[in-house]
Structure 1
Amino acid sequence: MSEKNNSQAILHFWHGTKFQLIGLGLAVGLAAGIVVVLYRYVIELSLEFSLEVYEYLRERPLYIPLWFAVLALCGWLTGWIVKQNPIVSGSGIPQVKGVLQRRLAMNWWKTVLAKFAGGALSIGAGLSLGREGPSIQIGSAIGMGFSKLLRKPKMTTQFLTTCGASAGLAAAFNAPIAGAVFALEELHNSFSPVVMITALASSIVADMVSKEFFGLQPIFDFRGISAIPLHQYGHLIVLGIILGLAGLLFNASLCKTQDLYKRLNLPLQVRMILPFLCAGGFGLVLPQVLGGGNQMVNSLLTDNRPLLILAVILAAKYVFTMISYGSSAPGGIFLPMLALGALMGLVYSRAWGFAVGAESFYAANFIILAMAGFFSAVVKAPMTGIILLTEMTGSFSNLLSMGVVCLVAYVTADALGSKPVYELLLHRYLANKGVPAYAAEEKHKVLLEIPIHPGSPLDRKRIRDIHWPERCLVVGIQKGSSEVIPTGATRIASGDSLVVLAEEDTANQVESVLSGQAAGRFN
């Protein structure tokens, strides 16, 4: 296709086929939902089997060496899978961000198979990892594959990759709205009506598939909880500050653990055996820390163990999460992060209740609030955290208090210079040798959406008065519900979204410059 025809096809796509994207998003949501539900079922079955094995081994300790040999073999096999397919290491969410930013290449079908197998082995063996990261990466790969099989243009591939990622989160957690918000807040870091509506369509269908299989119950059953009285909101500020500090420590610990594994300088297959053997040890003495932690969170309301024991479980879960994720085993940190937040909330509630002589001090509320706050401090995505926990708990009585905790946790972490965890992990991943780099081509065009923020130097300026980056063209301006085809005299206003056509090989630089100007970071 010639350059002129390619540009015309891109513009036709933008102006004439938005509703087609919704249909494609629905199809991607169905396909991703089915695969992620199967993945979720396999890892739950595998983890349940592992827990039964530990119960058996406590009565028959002679078989313990045999089980550890099985764990070592599973670790070696997982390491081999990751070595053959480096893009499936860890959570997968940083890799999806890299793909959407045109910084990483991903073979869609190899990713689906390798992430499915590696994640099932890792989480099924009891590593402190979650299903959400693999589900998001599997979903994004299915969206990419759907586009490639239908031979859609690269622009469509970007949208369907996002749709698949949203569907993966929705199917993993029964949280369709959070899936769409996650696409905007974390994957794209901006609001786009097209991304929102297509991601929402995909998430809803995937959630319907998940609910058809697993039922209508929320992941965490915390319904029927009354709201915290306003005169107790001072505790929310204290809790938010604690969670902000904990989020800073969590991100730093992840990076330090990855560095420690690298300093061991062991072959990947050998290195991967270590967390599997640790899972065996924890499984025998403290099985509560195995897996992502959703079962543990559900049991916290009826957990009458002393405060010291809860603190020990919290410390063990924290250390085991670092050991598990630092090894590069395929698995996410969403669920372990929420489990840690829930434990911190319960410890805070019990500690304050003990101090004032109360048997229970809003324990259920603080569990929910701490999960959302810790997520906001670590991921730096407070809106996703609020909506995600609301959907996962089925409780709408804590929205105001959750907003307070998330805001304080976010501000505390941000003031201390903490970076979003997935941004940190993406930079570290890209620094590794042998990562599959994206091969951008000059002949391909892409469309960029650039929202104009209040205070931007572009606000109230005419198109012809702005120094634009080379090799880009403003082809549209979204003003509310209407779209304007710009001329040199068209003025840009805050709240507008620029639609910019750029060549693929320079699109990242163009987007970086324009996003900075649109946000008012530099002139």
Structure 2
Amino acid sequence: MKNFDIITNDREHHSKLVLKGLLVGIIAAFVVVLYRFALSYAEDFSFFIYSFIKDKKYLIPIWFIILILLAFFIGKLIDKEPYISGSGIPQVKGVMGGYIKNRPLSIIINKFIGGTLCIVSGLSLGREGPSVQLGSSVGDIVSKKFKSTRLERRLLISSGATAGLAAAFNAPLSGVLFSLEEIYKYFSPLVLISTITAAVVADFISKQFFGLNPVFNFSTSQAIPLNNYWILLILGICLGIFGAFYNWITLKTQDLYAKLKCSTSIKLMIPFLLAGILGLLFPIVLCGGHAIVEELSLTTTLSLLLLMLVAKFLFSIISFGSGAPGGIFFPLLIIGGTFGAVFGYIAINYLGISPALFNNFIIISMAGYFTAIVRAPITGIILITEMTGSFTHLLSLSVVSIISYIVADLLKSTPIYDSLLKRLLLKNNINEYHSKSTKKIIITNVVHFGSKIEKTYLNNLKLPENTLIVSIKRDEVSIVPKGNTLIKAGDTILTMTDLKNEWKVRELMDSLTTIE
């Protein structure tokens, strides 16, 4: 069976895969830890330089010249390695789906340099998307070193992505759930064991450098009383609308940048020069957003909270829309938290809510806003729980996340990373996987309850040419498929096809085995 790839059910084989996942987690953790340190020093330097030149105004023109040169340099990096542009998560999904080819070592080097220089300049970008891409690239390198099968390669790439998110946020469970909910969109024991191994070891290594303290250290001593849950309904609706608007305006901003008939470097000069202006006038909105978190309190005026919300929102959109190497993950959490601060300020001062609940609104809004944008509610709930180190808000987080999810869905807002992946493929004219290889691959799908393929006989499926279902795994037993085999929910289907048709068949099987 040398003409296609498949992982057998052999336990020894699975054990080796777990060990490879462990190795990926260790390497990815050190790469991401180094990246976190680089961004931390870069952010400190950014605030220092703007404070310094504000006092020595004769240096301002020199700094703006440096910003132009940095924009030019990063533009050349993107021209050299286009897939370092933006967050990195759509690129990972593209590699996983077989849409695009990857140059992992080049990605690691250029993304690391580009992302760090963007934060030095003050752009409103996050570390989490790049960390996911850096980790996935480590997984890709390890898979090639071990000459892994196609399916093993996908598992190791996702393990690296999981480790990257775990190390970036000190949130191992969130990393695993993100892979299951956003990348795979289904549950698989094999995926779970490989990703959780990588996530746990990455989190352990990360904590050796950054300690056990959560990313957000809000002082909250009580949960929202049940008789105040009516306010969460309003908050969830507002976050759902705001999240849908964020997705819409992000894509519109990318459209505006695309209409500019100029080089990548010239486009990048827009957010870089804007960062220079904001650094002198309103520096709190620079970089990821840690500075804003420190100002979110009831003693801050409503006008200042609104100004921070609007300025951070617009600057983040302009920064990310330019294609600069950096993510939206952390900035959108900060925007959501700031929205929660505004909402909490109004609820406390005008609706009679207890002032002790102010920080609760910040925390809950982060999860709700994340869910409305990314459409991964479980990840959002667990992520904020891990980042705050408290289970006090679990029920209220869930309520708001579910409501914001429903509202964004009713508004027909497509999950942001799905939209960005489609645009990535369109931009690179990827409507067909160009390959002359005759190699066969195996695509794995789990049949969901209520999917199109459930309770369907195999001979009723209309599969593309040179595509064949070779095995169905049901209750740990492998079934040899026949025309009269009835497909049931929970079945794991192995589909064999040509490498050149991978993304088409993968897309087809995903649509048949999952529910929208």
TM-score range, shorter chain: over 0.9
Give secondary structure in 2 for the equivalent of 1:501. strand
Give secondary structure in 2 for the equivalent of 1:5. coil
Question: In the TM superposition, what whole-angstrom CA distance separates every residue of 1:310-345 from its partner, at most 9, and x where no partner exists?
Answer: 101100001101110111000000001000000000
Q: Pairwise mapping of residues 237-386 of structure 1 onto structure 2 (< 5 A)?
A: 237-297=233-293, 299-302=294-297, 304-356=299-351, 360=355, 362-386=357-381
On the 8 A contact 2:471/2:481 being kept in 1, the answer is no
Q: Give the root-mean-square deviation of aligned CA atoms.
A: 2.2
User: What is the deviation of 1:520?
Assistant: 6.1
The amino acid across from 1:485 in the alignment is I
Give secondary structure in 2 for the equivalent of 1:95. helix
Question: In the TM superposition, what whole-angstrom CA distance separates every residue of 1:14-35 from its partner, at most 9, and x where no partner exists?
Answer: 7762221111001000001001
Structure 2 regions of 5+ residues with no counterpart? none
Is 1:501–2:496 an aligned residue pair?
yes
User: Counterpart of 2:408?
Assistant: 413
Is 1:483–2:452 an aligned residue pair?
no
1:445 to 427, 440, 443: 440
User: Counterpart of 2:2?
Assistant: 5
User: Counterpart of 1:518?
Assistant: 513
Q: 1:260 to 1:186 in 2, by over 3 A?
A: same
What is the rounded CA distance, in whole Å, between the counterparts of 1:277 and 1:19 in structure 2? 52
2:386 to 386, 391, 395: 391
Q: 1:341 to 1:508 in 2, by over 3 A?
A: same
2:419 to 409, 421, 424: 424
Is 1:202–2:198 an aligned residue pair?
yes
Q: Pairwise mapping of residues 109-188 of structure 1 onto structure 2 (< 5 A)?
A: 109-188=105-184
What is the rounded CA distance, in whole Å, between the counterparts of 1:338 and 1:29 in structure 2? 25
Structure 1 regions of 5+ residues with no counterpart? none
The amino acid across from 2:2 in the alignment is N
Residues 325-334 or 218-227, more deviating: 218-227
The amino acid across from 1:483 in the alignment is V
Residues 258-267 or 44-53, more deviating: 258-267
User: Counterpart of 1:106?
Assistant: 102
Question: In the TM superposition, what whole-angstrom CA distance separates every residue of 1:74-115 from its partner, at most 9, and x where no partner exists?
Answer: 111111111111110010111111111101111111100010
The amino acid across from 2:160 in the alignment is G
User: What is the deviation of 1:472?
Assistant: 3.2
What is the rounded CA distance, in whole Å, between the counterparts of 2:309 and 2:370 in structure 1? 16
Q: How many residues align?
A: 515
**What TM-score do you get using the length of structure 2 for normalisation?**
0.94
What is the rounded CA distance, in whole Å, between the counterparts of 1:467 and 1:15 in structure 2? 34
Question: In the TM superposition, what whole-angstrom CA distance separates every residue of 1:402-445 from its partner, at most 9, and x where no partner exists?
Answer: 11101110110000110010111111111114779854455323
On the 8 A contact 2:470/2:495 being kept in 1, the answer is yes
What is the rounded CA distance, in whole Å, between the counterparts of 1:437 and 1:311 in structure 2? 46
User: What is the deviation of 1:69?
Assistant: 1.5
What is the rounded CA distance, in whole Å, between the counterparts of 2:104 and 2:332 in structure 1? 27
1:83 to 73, 76, 79: 79
Question: In the TM superposition, what whole-angstrom CA distance separates every residue of 1:197-241 from its partner, at most 9, and x where no partner exists?
Answer: 111111111111111111111111136532111111111111111
User: What is the deviation of 1:510?
Assistant: 2.7
On the 8 A contact 2:271/2:322 being kept in 1, the answer is yes
Q: 1:359 to 1:490 in 2, by over 3 A?
A: closer
User: What is the deviation of 1:353?
Assistant: 1.4
The amino acid across from 1:405 in the alignment is V
User: What is the deviation of 1:492?
Assistant: 2.7
Q: 1:271 to 1:110 in 2, by over 3 A?
A: same
Question: In the TM superposition, what whole-angstrom CA distance separates every residue of 1:133-191 from its partner, at most 9, and x where no partner exists?
Answer: 11111111111011112222222211111111111111111111111111111111222
